[in-house]
Structure 1
Amino acid sequence: MSQKQLHSTEELDQFVNENGKRLLFKHSTICPISTAAYDEFQAYVQDNAMPSAVILVREDRPVSNAVAERFEIKHESPQIFLLENGQVKWHTSHWKITKDAITQAVQE
């Protein structure tokens, strides 16, 4: 399953509004904590066929801000969201982003 990088709010809307479960990861390419969390996210995605997308928070700040506004969840980086049918079912940030945590959230 391919992973998307979202560069616009239109791409965000399209990704969020698709049916089923999907993962959205907000990543800062200059943060070592974000890099570690991104590696955990990638490990999950490589082993599971789940639609996923990444927002690079520095490069695509308007898209990152749109996530915080749309879901009324304070921006953090790194940050991951499990979406289902357009709604946030689970989210976490920083060191709590692990392959095991994602696996557990998806299974619930």
Structure 2
Amino acid sequence: MGIFKSLFGDSSSNKKENENQKLIPWKELKSSDQLKTIREDSKNRTQAIFKHSTRCGISKMALRNFESSFDLEGEQVDLYYLDLLNHKDISQDIAAEFQVFHESPQFIVIRNGETVHHSSHSAITPQVLYQYI
């Protein structure tokens, strides 16, 4: 039974995962119009976009690792979450607006209107944000 829990999780691990998600101050990115706001707001506070494919195990692992190691205060950075399966068009707009190639999962940090960092897969970490807050 233990191997199934480690492979598929159990209700207690799902509960812990849900608790972690509540602590992260995600803002849902669901419109390309928000990209102008992100660029403008980045002049006063660091902005970050996490692009996540909800059907991809690697993306889920990257998101879980990000959330479990995130330790910044909500007012230090604005964190946007993009569901790639529902908003592929926005991902293309992000690539054009912030001059990054599309990857999934992907983490993009914007400061003073420009992309200052982007990473994908296991290289995604919230610790990079310390450089830009």
Please give the TM-score of this superposition, normalised by the length of structure 2: 0.70
| Separation of aligned partners in 2, 1:36 and 1:16 | 28
Aligned with 1:10 (options 33, 39, 44): 33
Deviations 1:25-47 (A, max 9, x none): 000000011001111222344x2
Give the number of equivalent residue pairs.
103
- Match of 1:48, SS state, is coil
Task: Confirm or deny that 1:81 pairs with 2:108.
Answer: yes
| Separation of aligned partners in 2, 1:56 and 1:33 | 14
- Identity of paired residues, percent? 30
Cα deviation for residue 17 of structure 1 reads: 1.9
Larger radius of gyration: 2
Contact 2:35 2:97 in 1 (8 A): no
Extract structure 1 runs of 4+ deviating beyond 4 A: none
**Higher RCO structure, 1 or 2 (CA under 8 Å, sep 6+):** 1
In structure 1, runs of 5+ residues without a counterpart are none
Which structure shows the higher helix fraction? 2
In structure 2, runs of 5+ residues without a counterpart are 1-23
Cα deviation for residue 75 of structure 1 reads: 0.2
